[in-house]
Amino acid sequence: MISLWRDMNRRGQVTVALAFVLLLFAPVAATRYVLSVLTLILYFVYVGQAWNLMMGYAGQLSLGHALYVGLGGYVSAALWVHFGIGPWLGVFPAVGIAAAFGAAIGWLGFRFGIEGVYFALLTIAFAEFTRIGFDHIGFVGGAGGLFIPYEQSRLGEWWNLRGSQLFFYYLAFCLAVLAVLLTALLARSRLGYQWLAIREDETAARALGIDVFWAKMKAVLISSSMTAIGGVFYAFYYNSLFPAQLFDMSRSIELILGPIVGGLGTVFGPVVGAFILTPVGELLISLTEKAGINAPGAKAIFFGLILMTIIYLVPTGVWPWLSQRLGFTRRRS
Instruction: Decide if residue 194 touches another protein (CB under 8 A).
Output: yes
How many chain residues interact with another protein (CB under 8 A)?
Answer: 22
Contact between 21 and 228 under an 8 Å Cβ cutoff? The reply is no
Instruction: Decide if residue 111 touches another protein (CB under 8 A).
Output: no
- The Cα–Cα gap between 126 and 39 comes to 28
Instruction: Decide if residue 314 touches another protein (CB under 8 A).
Output: no
Q: Which of 9, 189, 250, 324 binds another protein (CB under 8 A)?
A: 189
Q: Which of 18, 117, 174, 207 binds another protein (CB under 8 A)?
A: 207
Instruction: Decide if residue 158 touches another protein (CB under 8 A).
Output: no
Q: Is 242 left (phi over 0), alpha (psi -120 to 50) or beta?
A: beta
Instruction: Decide if residue 325 touches another protein (CB under 8 A).
Output: no
Instruction: Decide if residue 6 touches another protein (CB under 8 A).
Output: no
Instruction: Decide if residue 193 touches another protein (CB under 8 A).
Output: yes
Q: Which of 197, 222, 226, 274 binds another protein (CB under 8 A)?
A: 197
Shortest distance in whole angstroms from residue 207 CB to another protein: 5
Shortest distance in whole angstroms from residue 253 CB to another protein: 24
> Which residue, 197 or 255, has its beta carbon nearer to another protein?
197
Q: What are phi and psi of 146, to 5 degrees?
A: -120, 135
Cα dist from 239 to 107, 118, 184, 261, whole Å: 33, 34, 32, 29
Shortest distance in whole angstroms from residue 193 CB to another protein: 5
Instruction: Decide if residue 58 touches another protein (CB under 8 A).
Output: no
Tell me which residue of 101, 75, 69, 100 sits closest to 90, measured CA to CA: 75
Contact between 48 and 223 under an 8 Å Cβ cutoff? The reply is no
Residue type, 84: G
Which stretch in 49-57, 137-145, 149-157, 196-204 sits in contact with another protein by CB under 8 A? 196-204
Tell me which residue of 46, 42, 95, 45 sits closest to 73, measured CA to CA: 95
| Tally of CA atoms within 13 A in the half-sphere of 301 that contains its CB | 7
Instruction: Decide if residue 53 touches another protein (CB under 8 A).
Output: no
Instruction: Decide if residue 294 touches another protein (CB under 8 A).
Output: no
Q: Which of 196, 280, 307, 322 binds another protein (CB under 8 A)?
A: 196
Instruction: Decide if residue 330 touches another protein (CB under 8 A).
Output: no
Instruction: Decide if residue 331 touches another protein (CB under 8 A).
Output: yes
Instruction: Decide if residue 14 touches another protein (CB under 8 A).
Output: no
Binding site for another protein (CB under 8 A): 188-190, 193-194, 196-197, 199-201, 203-212, 331-332
